[in-house]
C-alpha cells in the first residue's frame, strides 16, 4: 500500500513538473481551459511548497497560470489561484466536488446542450445536415476495397456518426447539435455569388442522373455527382446561413458546419482558370458555401452590426473559387478570345456581383495560406503545378496602399472599452517574408476587396513557415481590418499525413488548434466571438476515429469550444519573434563554435598524425612504435576536457585545441614547422609537445587494452598529470614497465 502511495506521489510530482513545447505545465493547461476541478485536484495532491511554486511558475512567454486564467476570461479561477498563492490554503472554489470526481469539470457541467431561443448561449454549435450524406460520389453503399474517390460520405460519418464519430466523444459532450430540419439555401442568396446559368447547369446535371444508389455522374474528372447532389449543395450553403443566424441571435457563440460538398473552388461560373491551369476544374466543389454565408450576413444583418466580414482559408489548396467570388464584388471586364472560320476577336463581358453596395471593397477581407509550386521539385514545370496552380504570395492592398487606414472612432472606442491596451494599427509582415506580386489577381493592385495569399513552397514540410504566415502577415492584417464576423474555410488536408497534398505544408493537429485559438481571440476582440467555420478539405480517413482528418477536425472544434475570452494581443507575436531570434542566434553561435573547434581539431589531428609517423625513426624514448595511431577525436573521448578549456576554445580567446589531456598550438604553421624540425634532426620537441604526444599515445593504448580485455580503465585526466604513476610531468614514460603494470592489474581484476 505504501509503495502504491509513493508511486502516486511521484506521478503527481512528475505531472506538475512536466512542460510542453511552450513551457506550460499541467496547471497552465488546466487554467487555460478554465478547468477549476482539475486545478484543485493537482494542487491538493502536491506538497504545499511545490504547489505554490507551480502556481507562480511562468511559461516561455513569462505567463503564469494565474495570468493565463485571467486572460482567458476565467475570473473565478483567477481569484482562487491568486488566493492560494498568497495564503497557501486551498480555497473552497478549488476543492474537489462530486462532479469533478465523476469526471466532469465544475464549469463544463453547467454548459447548455440545447438551444434556448431568446437566451444567450456561450457554447459551440455543430450544424450537420443529414441530407449532405446523400451526395454520393461513388456507387452506394461503399464497400471494402471499392477505392472510392477521396471526397465521399465517410468524411462526415467519421465526424458526426452517433456511434463512431469523433465529435460524439465524451470530450465534446457539451456541444450543441442540429442535424434535422435545417433550411436549404434560397436562390436569392446563391445568386449573390453565382451566375444563374451555372446554377441551372448543376441542377440539370443532377436531375438527369437516376435516383439510384449505383448511378453516379461527373462534372469533370475530379467532381462526381449523384441525383441528390444539388439538394446536398443547397443544404450545405443553407447550413452556413443558419450558422450566421445562430451566432447573430446569440444562440451560439460560434458554429462549425460539418457539410459537403465543399465549396472553396467554386467560382461565379463554376470552374476557375489561371495561367498554370487554363482549363480548370471544380475540385469536388459545387457552390461557394463561405462566400454565400458572408454575402447573406452583410445583407440580412447590415442593421444589426455586420458591416465588415472576413473570410479565412487554411486549406492546403488555394481557395480560388472564394477569391474569384470576392473579387467579383468589384466591377470588372472579362475578355474572352474567340476564333471562327471567318474571323477572330475578343469579346468583353462585364462582371459584377455586389454583396451589398459599392462599398463592398472596403468591407470584405479574404486571406488564404496554401501550397504553391510544382508537383515535383525534380520535374519542375514538366511535372505540372500543385492544384489548382494559383495562390502565389500576393497582396492586392498592401499597407503601403493604405489598406490599413486608421479605424473609425466608434469601433476603436468599443475595442478600447474591452482592453485598455488597444492598439490602432499593427505592423504587418515585419520581416518582409511574405511580399509578392499581384499577378494571380490579374494585376488588380489596389482595386476591389483586400485579398491576401501566401503560397507555401514545396514539396516538404513547412509548418513553421505556415505559422509565421498567419502570425506575421494575415492576423495583423485581420486586426487592422476589424471584422464584425469571421467565416472560416476549414480544410484539413495540409496535415503531414494527408494523401492529396503531395507533401506540401505538413502541419499537425496542434497547428490547427493553435490557429483556431488565434482566430477565436481575434473574434473576441472585434466581433463578440462570432465565428462560422465551414468544412472544406481533408481526406485521410485511415484509422477512422483516430485518422489524421478526424484528429485535425477535433483539434479545431476543441479550440472553438474552449470558451476562451482572451483578446488577441499583438505583443504575443512580438515575444514569439524575439524568442525565435534568440534561438536562431544561439543556433548560429553553436554552429560557428562547432566549425571553429572542428577546424582546430583537424589541425591538431594533422599534427599528431605527422608526429606518429616518426615513431619508427625517432630516438625519443617517449614515442613507442608498437602503439596504434588514433584520431584526435577518438583520443578526446577517452580524456576529460575541462569546461574552462572548452569555453576558451569557443570564445576564440586563445589559439589552442584540447587533445588527449594536453594542449597544442593550432595556429598558422607552427605544428608543421615543429615536425620539420624533428624530421631534420635539428632539435627536439619542447616539453609541452612531448607531453602531448605521450598523452595521445597513452590514450590509444588504453583504448586498445580495453577492447582486448574488457578492462574499462580510463586514461588519466589533465588534473592527474604529474601525480599519477602513469605520467610524470616533463619526463619520458617507460612503456615496458607500464604495460607490465597494466597486465598485472588486469589479471588481479579477473
Query: 413 in a domain, yes or no?
Result: no
Tally of domains in the chain: 3
pLDDT digits (tens, 9 = 90+) for 407-449: 444 454 444 444 434 446 899 999 999 987 544 444 456 789 9
What value does the mean pLDDT take over residues 496-512? 95
Residue 175 and residue 72 share a domain: no
What value does the mean pLDDT take over residues 533-551? 96
Query: 411 in a domain, yes or no?
Result: no
Domain that holds residue 441: 111-141+151-338+348-404+418-568
Nearest of 76, 169, 115, 104 to residue 558 by alpha carbon = 169
Judged against a pLDDT cut of 70, whether residue 33 lies above it is answered with yes
CA distances from 9 to 30, 65, 189, 253 (A): 19, 22, 61, 40
Residue 69 and residue 159 share a domain: no
Residue 249 and residue 396 share a domain: yes
Query: 518 in a domain, yes or no?
Result: yes
What value does the mean pLDDT take over residues 570-596? 86
Q: What is the pLDDT of residue 258?
A: 98
Judged against a pLDDT cut of 70, whether residue 403 lies above it is answered with no
pTM score: 0.73
Which is it for the CA torsion 152, 557, 322, 496, positive or negative?
negative
Query: 538 in a domain, yes or no?
Result: yes
pLDDT digits (tens, 9 = 90+) for 643-672: 444 444 444 444 433 333 333 344 445 444
Query: 367 in a domain, yes or no?
Result: yes
Residue 617 and residue 675 share a domain: yes
Residue 548 and residue 605 share a domain: no
Output the domain CATH number for residue 87: 1.25.40
Output the domain CATH number for residue 121: 3.40.800.20
| Domain boundary, last residue among 552, 568, 584 | 568
pLDDT digits (tens, 9 = 90+) for 276-312: 999 999 999 999 999 999 999 999 999 999 999 999 9
The three-state (H, E, C) secondary structure of 63-90, written as one string: CCHHHHHHHCCCHHHHHHHHHHHHHCCC
Return the C-alpha torsion angle 690, 692, 694, 695, nearest 10. 160
Residue 509 and residue 435 share a domain: yes
Residue 165 and residue 93 share a domain: no
Query: 634 in a domain, yes or no?
Result: yes
Residue 619 and residue 564 share a domain: no
Q: What is the pLDDT of residue 182?
A: 97
Range with the lowest mean pLDDT among 30-44, 199-213, 724-738? Answer: 724-738
Q: Give the 3-state secondary structure of residue 185.
A: coil
Q: What is the pLDDT of residue 379?
A: 77
Q: What is the pLDDT of residue 668?
A: 45
The span from the CA of 593 to the CA of 127, in Å, is: 57
Judged against a pLDDT cut of 60, whether residue 213 lies above it is answered with yes
Q: What is the pLDDT of residue 419?
A: 47
Average pLDDT, the chain: 79
End-to-end CA distance of the chain: 43
Per-residue pLDDT band for 185 (boundaries 50, 70, 90) equals very high
What value does the mean pLDDT take over residues 350-366? 95
> Which three three-digit cell numbers place residue 24?
506550460
Q: What are phi and psi of 51, to 5 degrees?
A: -65, -45
pLDDT digits (tens, 9 = 90+) for 87-108: 877 787 776 543 444 444 433 4
Residue 561 and residue 625 share a domain: no
Residue 355 and residue 240 share a domain: yes
Query: 324 in a domain, yes or no?
Result: yes
Query: 581 in a domain, yes or no?
Result: no
Judged against a pLDDT cut of 80, whether residue 4 lies above it is answered with no
Judged against a pLDDT cut of 60, whether residue 490 lies above it is answered with yes
CA distances from 115 to 175, 181, 243, 253 (A): 10, 14, 13, 11
Residue 267 and residue 119 share a domain: yes
Residue 161 and residue 42 share a domain: no
Q: What is the pLDDT of residue 631?
A: 39
Amino acid at each position: 500500500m505504501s509503495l502504491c502511495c509513493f508511486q502516486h506521489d511521484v506521478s503527481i510530482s512528475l505531472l506538475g513538473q512536466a512542460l510542453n513545447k511552450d513551457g506550460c505545465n499541467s496547471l497552465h493547461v488546466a487554467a487555460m481551459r478554465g478547468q477549476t476541478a482539475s486545478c484543485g485536484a493537482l494542487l491538493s495532491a502536491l506538497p504545499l511548497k511545490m504547489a505554490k511554486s507551480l502556481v507562480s511558475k511562468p511559461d516561455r512567454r513569462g505567463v503564469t497560470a494565474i495570468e493565463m486564467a485571467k486572460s482567458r476570461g476565467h475570473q473565478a479561477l483567477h481569484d482562487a489561484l491568486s488566493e492560494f498563492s498568497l495564503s497557501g490554503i486551498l480555497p473552497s472554489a478549488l476543492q474537489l466536488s462530486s462532479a469533478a470526481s465523476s469526471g466532469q469539470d465544475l464549469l463544463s457541467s453547467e454548459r447548455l446542450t440545447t438551444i434556448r431561443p431568446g437566451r444567450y448561449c456561450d457554447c459551440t454549435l455543430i450544424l450537420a445536415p443529414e441530407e449532405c450524406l446523400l451526395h454520393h460520389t461513388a456507387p452506394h453503399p461503399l464497400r471494402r476495397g471499392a477505392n472510392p474517390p477521396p471526397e465521399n460520405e465517410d468524411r462526415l460519418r467519421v465526424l458526426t456518426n452517433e456511434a463512431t464519430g469523433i465529435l460524439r466523444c465524451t470530450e465534446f459532450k457539451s456541444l450543441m447539435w442540429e442535424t434535422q430540419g435545417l433550411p436549404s439555401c434560397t436562390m436569392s442568396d446563391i445568386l449573390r455569388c453565382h451566375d444563374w446559368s451555372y446554377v441551372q447547369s448543376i441542377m440539370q446535371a443532377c436531375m438527369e442522373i437516376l435516383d439510384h444508389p449505383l448511378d453516379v455522374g461527373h462534372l469533370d474528372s475530379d467532381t462526381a455527382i449523384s441525383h441528390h447532389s444539388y439538394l446536398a449543395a443547397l443544404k450545405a450553403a443553407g447550413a452556413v446561413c443558419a450558422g450566421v443566424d445562430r451566432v447573430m441571435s446569440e444562440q451560439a457563440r460560434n458554429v462549425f458546419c460539418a457539410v459537403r460538398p465543399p465549396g472553396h473552388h467554386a467560382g461565379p461560373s463554376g470552374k476557375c482558370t489561371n495561367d498554370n491551369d487554363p482549363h480548370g476544374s471544380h475540385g469536388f466543389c459545387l457552390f461557394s458555401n463561405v462566400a454565400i454565408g458572408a454575402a447573406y450576413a452583410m445583407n440580412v444583418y447590415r442593421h444589426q452590426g455586420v458591416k465588415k466580414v472576413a473570410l479565412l482559408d487554411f486549406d492546403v489548396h488555394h481557395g480560388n473559387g472564394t477569391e474569384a467570388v470576392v473579387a467579383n464584388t468589384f466591377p470588372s471586364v472579362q475578355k474572352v478570345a474567340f476564333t471562327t472560320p471567318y474571323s477572330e476577336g475578343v469579346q468583353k463581358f462585364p462582371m459584377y456581383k455586389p454583396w451589398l453596395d459599392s462599398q463592398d471593397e472596403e468591407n470584405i477581407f479574404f486571406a488564404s495560406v496554401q501550397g504553391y509550386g510544382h508537383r515535383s521539385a525534380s520535374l519542375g514545370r514538366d511535372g505540372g503545378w500543385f492544384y489548382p496552380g494559383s495562390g502565389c504570395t500576393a497582396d492586392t492592398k498592401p499597407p503601403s496602399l493604405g489598406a490599413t487606414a486608421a479605424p473609425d472612432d466608434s469601433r476603436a472606442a468599443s475595442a478600447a472599452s474591452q482592453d485598455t491596451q488597444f492598439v490602432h494599427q499593427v505592423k504587418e509582415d515585419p520581416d518582409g517574408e511574405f511580399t509578392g506580386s499581384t499577378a494571380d489577381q490579374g494585376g488588380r493592385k489596389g482595386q476591389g476587396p483586400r485579398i491576401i495569399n501566401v503560397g507555401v513552397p514545396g514539396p516538404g514540410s513547412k509548418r513553421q513557415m505556415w505559422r509565421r504566415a498567419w502570425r506575421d502577415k494575415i492576423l495583423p492584417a485581420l486586426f487592422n481590418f476589424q471584422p464584425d464576423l469571421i467565416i472560416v474555410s476549414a480544410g484539413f488536408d495540409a496535415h503531414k499525413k494527408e494523401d492529396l497534398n503531395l507533401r506540401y505544408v505538413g502541419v499537425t493537429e496542434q497547428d490547427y488548434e493553435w490557429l483556431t485559438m488565434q482566430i477565436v481571440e481575434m473574434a473576441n476582440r472585434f466581433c463578440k466571438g462570432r465565428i462560422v467555420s465551414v468544412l472544406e478539405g481533408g481526406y485521410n480517413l485511415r484509422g477512422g476515429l483516430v485518422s489524421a482528418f478526424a484528429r485535425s477536425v477535433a483539434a479545431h472544434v476543441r479550440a472553438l469550444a474552449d470558451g476562451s475570452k482572451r483578446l488577441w494581443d499583438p505583443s504575443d507575436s512580438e515575444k514569439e519573434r524575439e524568442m525565435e531570434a534568440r534561438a536562431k542566434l544561439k543556433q548560429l553561435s553553436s554552429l560557428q563554435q562547432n566549425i571553429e573547434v572542428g577546424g582546430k581539431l583537424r589541425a591538431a589531428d594533422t599534427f599528431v598524425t605527422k608526429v606518429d609517423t616518426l615513431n619508427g625513426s625517432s630516438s625519443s624514448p617517449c614515442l613507442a612504435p608498437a602503439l596504434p595511431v588514433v584520431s584526435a577525436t577518438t583520443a578526446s573521448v577517452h580524456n576529460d576536457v575541462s569546461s574552462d578549456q572548452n569555453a576558451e576554445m569557443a570564445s576564440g580567446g586563445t589559439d589552442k585545441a584540447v587533445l588527449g589531456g594536453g594542449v597544442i598550438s593550432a595556429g598558422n604553421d607552427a605544428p608543421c614547422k615543429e615536425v620539420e624540425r624533428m624530421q631534420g634532426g635539428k632539435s627536439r620537441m619542447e616539453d609541452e609537445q612531448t607531453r602531448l604526444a605521450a598523452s595521445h599515445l597513452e590514450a590509444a593504448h588504453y583504448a586498445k587494452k580495453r577492447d582486448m580485455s574488457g578492462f574499462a580503465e580510463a586514461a588519466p585526466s589533465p588534473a592527474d598529470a604529474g601525480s599519477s604513476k602513469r605520467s610524470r610531468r616533463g619526463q619520458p614514460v617507460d612503456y615496458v614497465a607500464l604495460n607490465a603494470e597494466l597486465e598485472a592489474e588486469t589479471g588481479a581484476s579477473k
